[in-house]
Structure 1
Amino acid sequence: MIRRLATLATALLALSGPAAAQSALFGMETTDQTAPLWEAAILAAGGYVAHYPAASEGQFKALPVPFLIYRGDHLRIGDNGFIRARQEMAGGRFELDIGLDGSFDVDSKDNKARQGMPDLDLLIEAGPKATWHFMPKQGDVQVDLGVEVRAVIATRLIGFDYEGISINPELSWSDRSLGGTKLRGYASIGPVFGFDGVNDYFYGVDAAHATASRRAYKADDGYIGTKTTLGVAYPINDRLLVFGAAQVGYYGGSANEDSPLFRDKTNVSVGAGVRWSFWQSDARVPVVR
């Protein structure tokens, strides 16, 4: 969960987040080697996030999120993503998993550029991710190169609409013991590309919604922008953890920089919160970094 806890933390940037960040920052194990097999927790977070990539406006979001964690050998729920099936190869250096992520909806009445247009619905992203671990996974410091390919689905909870495909190569670094302390750190950078209509979802303007100041526009596939994420977390004890994160998106050179909905080359999102693990199983399993 940071791209989706540093993305719940970075804006509640999404409904879930980069797996490496979640593992690095939000694991609640009480030793360096093991974690509870089952765990029930509550995440309370708040933050500011841009309405969409390259928007000039954003929104504050805050909410408590109860969730259940299961750390199986191949199926993991609520740990390193909401739902995650994983398979390791090459002595654990290469990892392939399937996960579920998402991002918040936007009421177009709250965005000047989109007024009179359809709202942006809650987005769900699902698909595979391949990760190469440059460092042994047993260590506190991790350097990973990952590539996510996700189908993007818009939902109003009463229906689902396919919106396209996003691709996100990402280089990440994490340290579970910054300066020899309990402080945990995470950083990542990577470009985002949109195909098969997802760019049109953000930047397209139908003729019916064109105005004197907002011309009709058909978005192109391709480069959206590059996101850089920084996060820190500190475990108060084996059940309570506090965290904060920030994400900067730079959209200069975007395939749709000439869209009337493209308003700002730089977006900044920030978030912070606490996580309380109120129930943990006696059974414990090895930590998966």
Structure 2
Amino acid sequence: MPVLLALVVLSTAARGAELPQWEAGIGISALTIPDYRGADQSQFYVFPIPYLIYRGDVLKVDRRAVRGVFFKSERLEVDTSFSGSPPVRSGRNGARQGMPDLDPLFEAGPSLKYLLLRSAGGELRVDLQFPLRAVFVTDFSYLRYSGLVFNPRISLDWSRSGPEERLSAGVALGPLFTDSRNSRLFYEVDPIYATPVRPAYEAHGGYGGMQLALAATMRRGSIWIGAFSRIDNLQGARFEDSPLVKARWSVMTGLALSWVFGSSEAMAQAEE
């Protein structure tokens, strides 16, 4: 699941340039991830990641995921959106001591993207994005639906491609909304798990705070480097007063390094 998070955040790349239709490589990534949004404890992960890109007309594989473009016009595009969270062992989290562990979850659903602005050379663009994702919890022996997440945001992406080097950077900002089922998963305290310092709490859906994502990548020869961060602020969130919310700010950061060992001779328009 940390692999999915790294792929999701590292979604910035050159846009509008003619690049190989497919590229393949292997790399390593390091991530620091809060146990959950609002937690005051984090976990550190180091793991291998694939570097796989396919720039087809309908099927696209990039550092986000395998996705299908269902509709595309001059300014409007409908494709897929993904996210995820690693498991949380309650015995290692002070706020959740004695409560059930949180199994890994993944999110998937459609995303509407509208182009607001693009520079004449295509290096800079501003988009409005409207991803709606269904949340599923699993330990790989079961699969349980756990609500919906809506994450509208505005994104600014810049890229520059040369014969020896590709540079890109991106920033996205927007609110997060969750339904009651999803909020209960992270922030509800059933009476059976209440303690003198952790009172029972009933979580509800609604506004879930603001989220800021930052990413920058560089490709030089066969080496690709990416740095990324996601910052969450829960001030004003519907569940802000949950006893499980220990920090109003949560920060995820990471770094990835890949070696690209193969690419096609055929070229395609870069849109990832």
TM-score by length of 1: 0.85
CA distance in 2, matches of 1:13, 1:251: 23
Indicate how the Cα distance of structure 1 residues 110 and 221 shifts in structure 2: closer, same or farther if over 3 A, else same. Answer: same
The equivalent of 2:129 in structure 1 is 146
Instruction: Return the offset for 1:182.
Output: 4.4
The equivalent of 2:230 in structure 1 is 247
Instruction: Return the offset for 1:39.
Output: 2.7
Does the 8 Å CA contact 2:4/2:64 hold for their aligned counterparts?
no
The equivalent of 1:82 in structure 2 is 65
Q: Which amino acid aligns with 2:77?
A: E
1:1-289 alignment, distance < 5 Å: 14=5, 16-17=7-8, 22=11, 24-25=12-13, 33-66=17-50, 68-77=52-61, 79=62, 81-91=64-74, 93-136=75-118, 139-177=122-160, 182-237=166-221, 239-289=222-272
Instruction: Return the offset for 1:162.
Output: 0.8
Indicate how the Cα distance of structure 1 residues 229 and 165 shifts in structure 2: closer, same or farther if over 3 A, else same. Answer: same
CA distance in 2, matches of 1:108, 1:222: 25
User: What secondary structure, in the 3-state scheme, does the structure 1 residue paired with 2:215 have?
Assistant: strand
What is the CA deviation profile of residues 119-177 of structure 1, one whole-angstrom value per residue up to 9, with x for unaligned ones?
12111111000001123487011111101100000110111111100000011111113
Instruction: Return the offset for 1:63.
Output: 0.6
Greater strand share, structure number: 2
CA distance in 1, matches of 2:190, 2:159: 48
Does the 8 Å CA contact 2:4/2:83 hold for their aligned counterparts?
no
CA distance in 1, matches of 2:66, 2:181: 25
Does the 8 Å CA contact 2:51/2:258 hold for their aligned counterparts?
no
Q: How many residues align?
A: 268
CA distance in 1, matches of 2:173, 2:38: 17
Q: Which amino acid aligns with 1:14?
A: L
Q: Is there any run of 5+ residues in structure 2 with no aligned partner, and where? A: none
Does the 8 Å CA contact 1:46/1:273 hold for their aligned counterparts?
yes
Does the 8 Å CA contact 1:82/1:101 hold for their aligned counterparts?
no
Q: Which amino acid aligns with 2:100?
A: P
CA distance in 2, matches of 1:167, 1:224: 10
What is the CA deviation profile of residues 95-129 of structure 1, one whole-angstrom value per residue up to 9, with x for unaligned ones?
00124332222111111001111112111111000
Identity among equivalent positions (%) equals 32
Instruction: Return the offset for 1:288.
Output: 1.7
Runs of 4+ in 1 over 6 A off after TM superposition: none
Does the 8 Å CA contact 1:185/1:231 hold for their aligned counterparts?
yes
User: What secondary structure, in the 3-state scheme, does the structure 1 residue paired with 2:133 have?
Assistant: strand
Does the 8 Å CA contact 2:55/2:269 hold for their aligned counterparts?
no
Instruction: Return the offset for 1:274.
Output: 0.8
User: What secondary structure, in the 3-state scheme, does the structure 2 residue paired with 1:177 have?
Assistant: strand
TM-score by length of 2: 0.90
User: What secondary structure, in the 3-state scheme, does the structure 2 residue paired with 1:197 have?
Assistant: helix
User: What secondary structure, in the 3-state scheme, does the structure 2 residue paired with 1:202 have?
Assistant: helix
Instruction: Return the offset for 1:213.
Output: 1.5
Q: Is there any run of 5+ residues in structure 1 with no aligned partner, and where? A: none
